[in-house]
């Protein structure tokens, strides 16, 4: 079968300790950053500032080998989840064979999208070639860069710690926040902390107010995200064979973690990207765009966040009814998409009540006061898991959307994703690799 013949990264033969996994993770991130510095041969040195928001959330750097970022991987995941959720593809995700088939098809689609998106970026002049003859060469380089990132993600998943896709997003957002804080470049320094000293030196209090407002918004969003990430529901469990012994099974409020907001944000970004490329060819189905690539009308306009609208209100800048409508439509769209992808992810990632009940039963535990039957356990868990999935989807969607409206550095969605990714990264280390750590590092994780 074709899915079993796809190129891939081999699993480690022996168990890897924490030190080895940390090395592979660091190597994967280093190569990811290097790809973002290698310029595409044959591409024009165009200004890619209009793709800044896209770049942050997709971990991409336009005009380099990292142009596609995680775009093909996320697009493949979205398409496949929609097909499976709509029963167009009949894949039983409750079986090991079904999950393996799903993962194989997702990888195949990601490879196809590397080439489709790579050549589309060139043909629609998102990354313009210097001449017609160079179009195939530029498109092929972008596609190869996408394939390398696809395999780097697989390397980190199998040999490193956590998910490569998540770490690439966190790395991109962290880089954006760092530059947004400390960059000294520009006639007026672009780094907000540098701007504070610059504004004080020339007594420009309006610039000082903007810089302080953006920094405050970024800090507040970080604090809210960290607090929300810590909320969880704990289900008491007892051992069937040992009376008096038990534990609690935690179900996070953000039950499906950061995956829904990654998929939802990527979906909205794809609409904007496709709309911009079509508009460059005179096809304004998804809306019209200005010279900087920002939507000014149509679906793409209302599906993108009006960044900084909250900051404008604080600073007393005018806010039109159109900006308010756009903000409301964006908030509702992102929230609905997060709910939909949350429900899809629970089923595709083996996180549903039946799968969790199987895990609890396999270690000989049950919920006190209920019959020791997996069907009963599944029914009880359904009362927690599905409401948490929906409520978590609503909360993460609204939090991401509202954060985007503040104009915070790294975008509100980017900050939310980074906090959740780093929290999951910490939990992975604590759960699986604590015994392999240096005593000093282990003490830090035990205290935290």
Percent above pLDDT 70 for the chain: 88
Closest residue by Cα to residue 249 from 94, 357, 394: 357
**pLDDT per residue as tens digits for the range 89-133:** 787 766 777 777 888 888 899 999 999 999 988 888 788 888 889
The C-alpha atoms of residue 234 and residue 385 are separated, in whole angstroms, by 12
Q: Are 36 and 61 in contact (CB under 8 A)?
A: yes
Q: How confident is the model at residue 335 (pLDDT cuts 50, 70, 90)?
A: very high
Mean pLDDT of 75-80: 83
The C-alpha atoms of residue 47 and residue 305 are separated, in whole angstroms, by 22
Residues contacting residue 410 through CB under 8 Å, at least 6 positions apart: 56, 173, 174, 176, 177, 180, 218, 418
Residue 435 pLDDT: 59
Any idea which of 170-179, 302-311, 425-434 has the lowest mean pLDDT? 425-434
Please tell me the pTM assigned to this model. Answer: 0.74
The 10 Å CB-count burial string (b at 16+, else e) for 419-439 is: bbbbbbbeeebeeebeebbee
Cα-flanking dihedrals φ and ψ of residue 106, to 5°?
-65, -40
Which residues in the chain are classed under CATH 1.10.3370.10?
A: 16-182, 231-407
Residue 240 pLDDT: 62
Mean pLDDT of 270-293: 80
**pLDDT per residue as tens digits for the range 247-276:** 777 788 888 877 788 788 878 887 887 888
Handedness of CA 347, 351, 164, 169 (dihedral sign): positive
Counting Cα atoms < 13 Å in the Cβ hemisphere of 335 gives 15
Residue 392 pLDDT: 87
For the domain spanning 16-182, the CATH number is 1.10.3370.10
**pLDDT per residue as tens digits for the range 336-353:** 999 988 888 887 777 788
> What's 419's DSSP letter?
H
Residue 138 pLDDT: 93
| Superfamily the domain 231-407 falls into | SecY subunit domain (1.10.3370.10)
Mean pLDDT of 37-52: 77
How far from 99 is each of 6, 105, 106, 107, CA to CA, in Å? Answer: 16, 10, 10, 12
Residue 433 pLDDT: 64
């Amino acid at each position: 079968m074709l899915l079993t013949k796809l190129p891939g990264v081999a699993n480690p033969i022996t168990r890897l300790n924490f030190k080895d996994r940390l090395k592979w993770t660091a190597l994967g991130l280093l190569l990811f950053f290097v790809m973002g510095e290698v310029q595409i041969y044959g591409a024009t040195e165009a200004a890619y500032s209009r793709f800044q928001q896209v770049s942050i959330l997709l971990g991409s750097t336009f005009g380099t080998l990292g142009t596609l970022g995680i775009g093909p991987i996320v697009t493949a995941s979205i398409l496949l989840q929609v097909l499976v959720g709509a029963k167009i593809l009949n894949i039983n995700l409750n079986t090991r064979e079904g999950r393996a088939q799903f993962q194989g098809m997702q990888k195949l689609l990601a490879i196809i999208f590397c080439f489709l998106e790579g050549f589309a970026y060139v043909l629609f002049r998102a990354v313009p070639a210097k001449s017609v003859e160079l179009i195939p060469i530029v498109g092929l380089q972008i596609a190869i860069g996408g394939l390398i990132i696809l395999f780097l993600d697989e390397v980190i998943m199998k040999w490193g710690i956590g998910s490569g896709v998540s770490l690439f997003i966190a790395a991109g957002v962290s880089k954006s926040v760092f530059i947004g804080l400390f960059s000294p470049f520009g006639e007026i320094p672009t780094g907000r902390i540098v701007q504070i000293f610059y504004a004080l030196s020339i007594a420009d209090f309006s610039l000082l107010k903007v810089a302080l407002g953006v920094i405050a918004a970024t800090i507040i969003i970080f604090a809210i995200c960290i607090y929300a990430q810590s909320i969880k529901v704990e289900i008491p469990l007892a051992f069937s064979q040992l009376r008096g012994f038990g534990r609690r099974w935690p179900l996070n409020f953000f039950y499906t973690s950061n995956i829904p907001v990654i998929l939802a944000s990527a979906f909205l970004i794809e609409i904007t990207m496709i709309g911009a490329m079509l508009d460059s060819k005179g096809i304004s189905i998804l809306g019209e765009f200005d010279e900087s690539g920002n939507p000014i009308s149509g679906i793409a306009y209302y599906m993108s966040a009006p960044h900084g609208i909250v900051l404008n209100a604080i600073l007393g800048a005018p806010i039109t009814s159109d900006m308010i409508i756009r903000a409301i439509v964006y908030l509702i769209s992102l929230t609905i998409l997060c709910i939909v992808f949350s429900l899809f992810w629970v089923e595709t990632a083996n996180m549903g009540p039946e799968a969790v009940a199987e895990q609890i039963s396999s270690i000989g535990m049950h919920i006190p006061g209920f019959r020791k039957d997996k069907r009963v356990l599944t029914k009880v868990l359904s009362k927690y898991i599905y409401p948490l999935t929906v409520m978590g989807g609503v909360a993460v969607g609204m939090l991401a959307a509202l954060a985007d409206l503040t104009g915070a550095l790294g975008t509100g969605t980017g900050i939310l994703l980074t906090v959740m990714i780093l929290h999951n990264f910490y939990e992975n280390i604590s759960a699986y690799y604590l015994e392999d750590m240096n005593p000093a590092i282990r003490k830090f994780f035990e205290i935290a």
